[in-house]
Amino acid sequence: MEVTKRCFLQILQAQLAVSFFLLLLPACRSGCDVKLISVKEPSSTGNVLMKKIQVVSHEKADLLVRYWETRNSQQVFVTPVSIAKEDHSFSLLFLNPASTYAYEVVARHKECENTVVGSGTFDTKEIPAGMQEMIMPAEMQPSLPDKFQHGYVLTARRDPPGQLYLTDAKGNLAWYHTIGDAGFKVAHYTNNNTILAIVAPLSYPTSYGDQILEISLAGDTVFQLKKGEKGLDKTIHHDVFYNASQQLVTITLEKKVYDLRSVSGTLSDTVTGDGILVLDKKGNKVWSWSVFDVVDPLSDPHIVRDKADWLHANSLSLDTDGNYLLSFYLSGQIWKIDAKNGKLIWKMGRDADFTFSPGGPFTESHAVHRTSKNQLMLFENGVAKRQSSVLVYTLDEADRKAHVDLSLPLPINLYSERMGSAYFVGDSSMLVCSSQANSVSLAGKNGEILWRIRTGFIPYRAEFIDSLPLQQ
């Protein structure tokens, strides 16, 4: 009996020891077990229409976030999946101001596929009063083109604090991004769902800049290159974009000293012209070109008068064959430049190579580009007649002829002596930026104004975006 009791106590002690040992072991965790860290506004952008959610999982997991406004639970938005991570960051975009939202963190991981592993609510703030004055309420016709109703308009403020704005068809601010010490000189929405811009402090005038900046809609820096770094060795201005090879293309400021005594100048006159710079994805120089490569300033009888800003390039775009279209405000011309050898293929405009059908010649041009139908489209400032227009051409490049497909004079109140842009939205309307009228409009082909917003800044251009990367 005594032996049996002693054995029982030994067994009990062993079991207690094992139990105590197991208590010392860390709890078993899985990718389904997460800890929600924070829900907050991104401090870097000051955007009250965005929230950041940080989530930690106890092992690598695949997570996403679903979110919706509580008064409209039928419209649920979904973030991209954060794959095979322990630390997850989600950006909740295009929120409405002064609203309450609910969210769910959802696991897409092994045994817990589509399991809700965290949830909560948050409130958004009102848009700051100063921001509300940047984009005024839209004036619009009762019905708008369907394509436009589902899209967004991108504009940018050039003076510090620089700001980017995405506006919906109702004129509501859907997204914005702020940089405090510089302005956005020009901005383009890319095929990668990022915004590519030229930025600079106030010391750089108008559309000139010293930095290329690309940001995501989450406000994160995708690419940044400052003057003096790698291949960016000159001041840049007016345009920046990606070509088909995903290389960065921009306009440069070029200066060269000439002996202009033969045209009443001096022995060492500095002529300011323009060029093209191509950089690879890392910012290294791939190719460069200058107006001085193809035209001698001495051939211009007004070169002494115009030497400080000889031609003033103001837009650069890709032609359908991969060559460049470069427009010049002061000379009233568009040049086509070979993207490989830099040769000047043709000039179009004042005293240039093309003849025009009736009503075809333009004076000044901005935002020159090819349309989806291979037409050449531009915003004409119309300084002489003090009325701006939108012009669209079909070009016969072989015979150097330009046929006018559309010549649309804009209302007098949308006149812009400088700057401006026009882009088709579908087949029957176009988005027009009348910079010095502080207006962005949707115009029909007959000239009727279907939609208009006024801005508290001078918008250099306005671009239409068909849709944004927001799953529903």
Per-residue pLDDT for 278 more than 50? Answer: yes
Residue range 243-257, pLDDT digits in tens: 999 999 999 999 999
pLDDT of residue 14: 43
Structure token pair of residue 208: 């000139």
Is there a contact between 309 and 302 (Cβ–Cβ < 8 Å)? no
Q: How far apart are CA 333 and CA 349, in angstroms?
A: 4
Q: How many CB atoms lie within 10 A of CB 239?
A: 23
Hey, where are the domains in the chain?
34-123, 129-465
Instruction: Please report how many Cα atoms fall inside a 13 Å half-sphere around the Cα of residue 104, on the Cβ side.
Output: 14
Residue range 166-190, pLDDT digits in tens: 999 999 999 999 998 999 999 999 9
Per-residue pLDDT for 99 more than 70? Answer: yes
Instruction: Please report how many Cα atoms fall inside a 13 Å half-sphere around the Cα of residue 197, on the Cβ side.
Output: 32
Is there a contact between 231 and 263 (Cβ–Cβ < 8 Å)? no
Residue range 367-404, pLDDT digits in tens: 999 999 999 999 999 999 999 999 999 999 999 999 99
Per-residue pLDDT for 91 more than 80? Answer: yes
pLDDT of residue 15: 46
pLDDT of residue 471: 59
Is there a contact between 168 and 210 (Cβ–Cβ < 8 Å)? no
Measured CA angle at 265 (ends 262, 268), to 5 deg: 100
pLDDT of residue 44: 59
Express as a percent the part of the chain with pLDDT over 70. Answer: 91
Q: How many CB atoms lie within 10 A of CB 206?
A: 16
Fold classified for 129-465:
Neuraminidase (2.120.10)
Least confident of 56-60, 86-90, 383-387, 447-451: 56-60
Contacts of 355 (CB under 8 A, 6+ apart): 400, 401, 402
DSSP H helical ranges for 242-361: 303-306
Percent helix / strand / coil, the chain, rounded to 5: 10, 45, 40
Q: How far apart are CA 223 and CA 188, in angstroms?
A: 14
Per-residue pLDDT for 32 more than 90? Answer: no
Least confident of 52-61, 202-211, 281-290, 421-430: 52-61
pLDDT of residue 235: 98
pLDDT of residue 187: 98
Question: Which carries the bigger pLDDT value, residue 27 or residue 377?
Answer: 377
With H, G, I as helix, E, B as strand and everything else as coil, classify residue 210: coil
| CATH number assigned to the domain covering 34-123 | 2.60.40.10
pLDDT of residue 333: 97
What is the rounded average pLDDT of the residues 79-95? 93
Measuring CA to CA, which residue among 65, 77, 76, 137 is closest to residue 454? 137
What is the rounded average pLDDT of the residues 154-170? 95
What residue type is 329 in one-letter code? Answer: Y
Residue range 291-324, pLDDT digits in tens: 999 999 999 999 999 999 999 999 999 999 999 9
The residues pairing with 151 across neighbouring beta strands, listed in sequence order, are: none
Is there a contact between 172 and 448 (Cβ–Cβ < 8 Å)? no
Residue indicated by tokens 């093209």: 276
Is there a contact between 273 and 294 (Cβ–Cβ < 8 Å)? no
Residue range 322-345, pLDDT digits in tens: 999 999 999 999 999 999 999 999
Structure token pair of residue 56: 């930690």
Q: How far apart are CA 336 and CA 340, in angstroms?
A: 12
**Residue 15 phi/psi, 5° resolution?**
-65, -40
With H, G, I as helix, E, B as strand and everything else as coil, classify residue 15: helix
Beta strands 51-69 and 34-40, pairing class = antiparallel
Q: How far apart are CA 466 and CA 431, in angstroms?
A: 12
The pTM assigned to this predicted structure is: 0.90
What residue type is 102 in one-letter code? Answer: A
Q: How far apart are CA 32 and CA 105, in angstroms?
A: 10
Question: What DSSP designation does 49 have?
Answer: T
35 falls in which pLDDT band (50, 70, 90)? Answer: confident
359 falls in which pLDDT band (50, 70, 90)? Answer: confident
Q: Decide whether 34-123 matches 129-465 in CATH topology.
A: no
Distance of CA 24 to the CA centre of its chain: 55
Question: Which carries the bigger pLDDT value, residue 47 or residue 401?
Answer: 401
Question: Which carries the bigger pLDDT value, residue 279 or residue 42?
Answer: 279
Q: How far apart are CA 135 and CA 142, in angstroms?
A: 20
**Residue 297 phi/psi, 5° resolution?**
-55, -25
Express as a percent the part of the chain with pLDDT over 90. Answer: 82
Question: What DSSP designation does 16 have?
Answer: H
pLDDT of residue 433: 98
pLDDT of residue 108: 85
Is there a contact between 287 and 252 (Cβ–Cβ < 8 Å)? no
Is there a contact between 321 and 369 (Cβ–Cβ < 8 Å)? no
Per-residue pLDDT for 157 more than 60? Answer: yes
25 falls in which pLDDT band (50, 70, 90)? Answer: very low
Omega within 30 of 0 (cis) for the link into 160: no
Instruction: Please report how many Cα atoms fall inside a 13 Å half-sphere around the Cα of residue 339, on the Cβ side.
Output: 18
Strands (E), 93-219: 100-107, 115-123, 139-140, 152-157, 162-168, 173-179, 183-189, 194-200, 208-209, 211-216
Structure token pair of residue 262: 């033969």
Residues in the chain: 472
Residue range 414-466, pLDDT digits in tens: 999 999 999 999 999 999 999 999 999 999 999 999 999 999 999 999 999 99
Is there a contact between 240 and 252 (Cβ–Cβ < 8 Å)? no
